[in-house]
Amino acid sequence: MDLSGKNVAILAAEFNTKLVTAMIEAASDEITQSGSTVADVVRVPGAYELPLLADALLERDDVDALVVLGYIERGETLHGEVMGHVVHAALVDLQLEHRKPMGLGIIGPGATPEQAETRKLDYARAAARAALKNCALLAEH
């Protein structure tokens, strides 16, 4: 399956900057190693702000797919869990509305900092591969 030649945007939350920056680097590496291009990297304040910018990026003609990265940590209340459900649902709806693949690399909700640290690179790379693979699959079908 050819995963090259695609323009992939990366959208990431600024919250937990150090962790998410490492995720951006891993996703970018995965995209470029596949022979595709990172069309843009956009940072938003937090996970709640991801859907609005995801919509704007998916509208662009120069974006074939989107990789969304972030971390919704475990808190003392259910705020993160509720936010995670809302954000995930909105992102799935946008992917279907725009008919462009999205790789979801959001750790959590409910992950501890230790869990996030362990998962960050694998989640980012898997999200990039998923977006690219779905681009290829959509082209075939």
Burial environment of residue 137 by CB neighbours within 10 A (0 to 12, 13 to 18, 19 or more): exposed
Burial of 67 (0-12, 13-18, 19+ CB in 10 A): buried
Structure tokens at 4: 């090259």
Which pLDDT tens digits describe the chain residue by residue (141 residues)? 777 899 999 999 998 999 999 999 999 999 999 999 999 999 999 999 999 999 999 999 999 999 999 999 877 776 777 888 899 999 999 999 999 999 999 998 889 999 999 999 999 999 999 999 999 999 888
Domains and CATH numbers, the chain: 1-9+55-108 (3.40.50.960)
How many angstroms separate the CA atoms of 8 and 132, rounded?
A: 8
- Active-site residue 98, yes or no? no
Instruction: Give me the catalytic one of 79, 88, 98, 141.
Output: 79
- pLDDT value for 110: 85
